[in-house]
Amino acid sequence: MIECDDCLGGFHLGCLKPPLRKVPDGEWICGFCERRRKGEVLEMPRPPEGKKLRRTAKEKLLSSDLWAARIERLWKEPDGSFWMRCRWYMIPEETAVGRQPHNLRRELYRTNHSSDIEMESVIRHCSVLNPKEFSEANNEGDDVFYCEYEYDVRWHSFKRIADINDDDDEEENNGRTEKDEEWKISKDTGCETDDDSENEDVAAESTSCKHPTHELAANSRKGRAFGLHKIGIKKIPEHVRRHNQTELEKAKATLLLATLPKSLPCRNKEMDEITSFIKGAICDEQCFGRCLYIHGVPGTGKTMSVLAVMRSLRSEVDAGRMKPYCFVEINGLKLASPENIYKVIYEALTGNRVGWKKALNCLNERFSDGNRVGKNQPCVLLIDELDLLLTRNQSVLYNVLDWPTKPRSNLIIIGIANTMDLPEKLLPRISSRMGIQRLCFGPYNYHQLQEIISTRLKGIDAFQDQAIEFASRKVAAMSGDARRALEICRRAAELADYRLKHSPTSSCSMNASSKGKCSVGMPDIEAAIQEVFQAPHIQIMKTCSRLCKILLVAMVHELYRSGVAEITFEKLATTVFSLCSSNREPVPGWDNLLKVGCKLGECRIILCEEGVKRRLQKLQLNFPSDDVAFALKDCPELPWLSKYL
Ligand code: ATP
Ligand code: MG
């Protein structure tokens, strides 16, 4: 038999007129659908008289009378009933944008909405396949569905599942990361990460969404498992489960940059401003020309603050206190080219992947006529590392920043970058759109850094107060970067942990440390600072030749000036010549400069494109600019360098 890709009706190959010998490759549409597409009014064949018309599970599912879900956890309640945590799938009609022309008939979206329901509501197994599996599916039966995207039911945005899995892999490689959901929801004691391949897709009747007993009834209580173990999960050995972390181990874990802090001290004012900007823009019916530019040096909590605001607004939307809106988050660093932003935005809004030119046209249409797609829901677009969208003719920034100015676009843009004067560097027609509302995240002073570190370490007795103060003062004097301060403290905790575990009186020290009596002191912080700031690349910068130093400073100077990380060799040479001549330094020849550039490229202090482009070869610093500033600020042989850092 063959199935029509439009109405999903089944046909015998031999009964078709003309009959088909084999199933054709690609899409096949039945004669009825073909004629209907041409506009003919058709009467579909009636089922034989006397037979009761019965709808299949697939038909019910595709008309929202049944739901597909993916079982993520199973357990047995004390009363003997079996329960499961399931994650729902949705049909395209149930999303905010509705069914779109590119949707397949059997397409489902995996959502981020989970419920705990009784196993009795499960009717039967169905297969939800990824695009590759779906294209290779053969004789899989009727309950087979296609799923390529995850749909965020709160933000009404789409994300390709393959990308989500990539991100998860990255996070796993980077160590333990707390997920978005865990910010608000307390973690079950027995809930370890699930093995994807073991999860089951089932068709279930939508019964109760949340059961009051589920918090109590997880299959592990107070660290002891009972009843069913989760399917596909290896039992964690008791000695690992029971391992009591020492104070230092707790400190190391909480100071990891990947750990989401429970609160963001010292940024209340900024977060209030962002909240009122978004609320104002969403409530304003016209939603005209809304754009907020956030700037500040690295590690000042810009990204974290915006994301924290979005989380708290999400709970207001959930509680019905705010109009729903969709949220799309983009990081310039993750785009292969600035133009790709159109593709990414379009994909997030519609779950459809097209080339960037087509995406640009569709977005232009959407934002100039707000009613077309998305039921005119407001959309908040966060563009982190906005400066990376800068192109030679600035067209990407122009196009993106032009959308919110359209009367019915309902678009709100929040742009984040490091450079304060990015709007001024842009063409006037762009800066007039971007530079109206700005918010500056200043570097943290030592009091603030101290508060940030102490808040993170609340309840963990691992650090002496002077040690935290010392680290905060050091970082505040250099950059005011919370990321650096946290890194230094975490490294100090590691050093202290190592010292304790390897000291001759190791066992008694461990007892002491677990009681919290042994703390990270000033010498550990001092050693960590030495390590962070005496890193090999900083040593190289400090000890390299005069011309190398001038070249590095010229790169930083250009970076500050243009806001763009890459610079051509030609432009860099011009800057070096002008720095040298205005500071009475002998102006180097092109060949010398090239030699120095190659040397820095060889030791990966800078990254170089391949040399065939000659003067147009692009160069970029491989380390943060403040490392160059730290290494060369007080250079005795070239004191004038500090003017440019
Ligand atoms: P960049 O410009 O490099 O992107 P950023 O300003 O976006 O930096 P974030 O990524 O928001 O900085 O923060 C860097 C790190 O510092 C994060 O790990 C965050 O947890 C921590 N951090 C920054 N500010 C605070 C704060 N006020 N409280 C707690 N942690 C903070
Ligand atoms: Mg950031």
Above 50 in pLDDT, residue 65? yes
User: Which CATH class name applies to 537-644?
Assistant: mainly alpha
**Span 473-524, pLDDT tens digits:** 989 887 789 999 999 999 999 999 888 887 766 544 444 444 445 579 999 9
Structural tokens at position 30: 């039945």
How far apart, in Å, are the Cα atoms of 225 and each of 23, 77, 190, 220, 221? 51, 12, 8, 4, 6
Residue nearest to atom 18 of ligand 1 (CA): 257
Domain formed by 458-533, architecture: Orthogonal Bundle (1.10)
Residue 220: pLDDT band by 50, 70, 90 thresholds? Answer: very low
Ligand with an atom nearest the CA of residue 295: 1
User: pLDDT at position 504, please?
Assistant: 66
Judged against a pLDDT cut of 60, whether residue 233 lies above it is answered with no
Say yes or no: CB of residue 382 within 6 Å of ligand 1.
no
Are β-strands 290-296 and 437-441 bridged in parallel, bridged antiparallel, or unpaired? parallel
From ligand 2's centre to the CA of 623, what distance in Å? 16
User: Residue 50: is its pLDDT beyond 70?
Assistant: no
Residue 415 sits at φ, ψ, to 5 deg, of: -105, 140
Taking the centre of ligand 2 as the mean of its atom positions, its distance from the CA of residue 200, in whole angstroms, is: 37
Q: Three-class SS of residue 67? A: strand
Helices (H), 23-78: 31-37, 57-62
Q: What is the pLDDT of residue 30?
A: 86
Residues with CB under 5 A from ligand 2 (ion): 303
Model confidence at 177, in pLDDT bands (50, 70, 90)? very low
pLDDT for residue 343 is more than 60: yes
- For residue 570, what are its two tokens? 């030609």
3-state secondary structure of 619: strand
Cite the residue boundaries of each domain of the chain with CATH code 2.30.30: 59-239
Q: Yes or no: is domain 1-45 CATH 3.30.40.10?
A: yes
Q: How many CA atoms lie within 13 A of 102 on its CB side?
A: 10
pLDDT confidence tier of residue 274, bands split at 50, 70 and 90: very high
- Ligand 2 centre to CA of 28 (Å) is 48
Which of 278, 289, 275, 310 lies closest to 409 in space, CA to CA?
Answer: 289
User: From the DSSP assignment, how many helices (H) and strands (E) are in the chain?
Assistant: 23, 20
Could you tell me the distance, in angstroms and rounded to a whole number, from the CA of residue 461 to the centre of ligand 1? Answer: 23
Q: Which pTM value belongs to this model?
A: 0.72
For the CA atoms of 173, 175, 179, 182, the dihedral, rounded to the nearest 10 degrees, stands at 160
DSSP string of 71-129, one letter each residue = EEEEEE-TTS-EEEEEEEEE-GGGSTT---TT--TTEEEEEEEEEEEEGGGEEEE-EEE
Cβ contacts of 455-459, under 8 Å, gap ≥ 24: 455/261, 455/262, 455/263, 455/265, 456/254, 456/255, 456/261, 456/486, 457/251, 457/254, 457/255
Where does the pLDDT of residue 255 fall: very low under 50, low under 70, confident under 90, or very high at 90 and above?
very high
Task: Indicate which residue's Cα is closest to atom 14 of ligand 1.
Answer: 299
Are the C-beta atoms of 157 and 326 separated by less than 8 Å? yes
Residue 458, classed as helix, strand or coil, is: coil
Is 490 touching ligand 1 by the criterion CB < 6 Å?
Answer: no
For the cut 70, the answer to whether the pLDDT of residue 312 exceeds it is yes
Answer yes or no: is the C-beta of 417 below 6 A from any ligand 1 atom: no
Condensed to tens digits (0 to 9), the pLDDT of residues 89-100 reads: 999 999 988 888
Mean pLDDT of the chain: 81
Q: Over 50: is that where the pLDDT of 226 sits?
A: no
Rounded percentage of the chain residues whose pLDDT exceeds 90: 37
pLDDT band at 209 (very low <50, low <70, confident <90, very high): very low
Please, where in the chain does CATH 3.30.40.10 lie? 1-45
| CA of 384, nearest ligand number | 2
Query: By the 8 A CB rule, do 245 and 253 touch?
Result: yes
d(CA 642, CA 637): 11
Torsion of CA 314, 316, 321, 323, to 10 degrees: -20
Residue 300 CA, ligand 2 centroid: distance in Å: 8
Q: Where in the chain is the domain with CATH 1.10.10.10?
A: 537-644
Ligand number with the minimum distance to the CA of 298: 1
Residues of the chain with CATH 3.40.50.300: 268-441
Averaged pLDDT, 456-470? 92
pLDDT of residue 59: 86
Q: Which CATH architecture fits 59-239?
A: Roll (2.30)
- Tell me what percent of the residues of the chain surpass a pLDDT of 70: 82
Reading the block at residue 629, the tokens are 């500033």
CATH of 268-441, one of 3.30.43.10, 3.50.50.60, 1.10.10.10, 3.40.50.300: 3.40.50.300
> What tokens does 197 get?
């391949």
The answer to whether the Cα torsion of 428, 433, 435, 436 is positive or negative is positive
Which residue is listed with tokens 């009051």? 212
Ligand 1 site, residue 306, Cβ cutoff 6 A:
no
What is the atom index within ligand 1 of the atom nearest the CA of 267?
A: 27
Mean pLDDT of 45-61: 73
Give the C-alpha separation, 196 to 348, whole Å: 23
β-pairing verdict for 2-3 and 10-11: antiparallel
Closest to 341 measured CA to CA, from 391, 406, 266: 391
Give the distance from CA 474 to its chain's centroid. 31
- Tell the residue nearest (CA) to atom 26 of ligand 1: 264
Are the C-beta atoms of residues 468 and 489 closer than 8 Å to each other? Answer: yes
Ligand 1 neighbour 475 (Cβ under 6 A): no
CB 89 within 8 A of CB 67: yes
Give the whole-angstrom CA distance, residue 186 versus residue 225.
Answer: 19
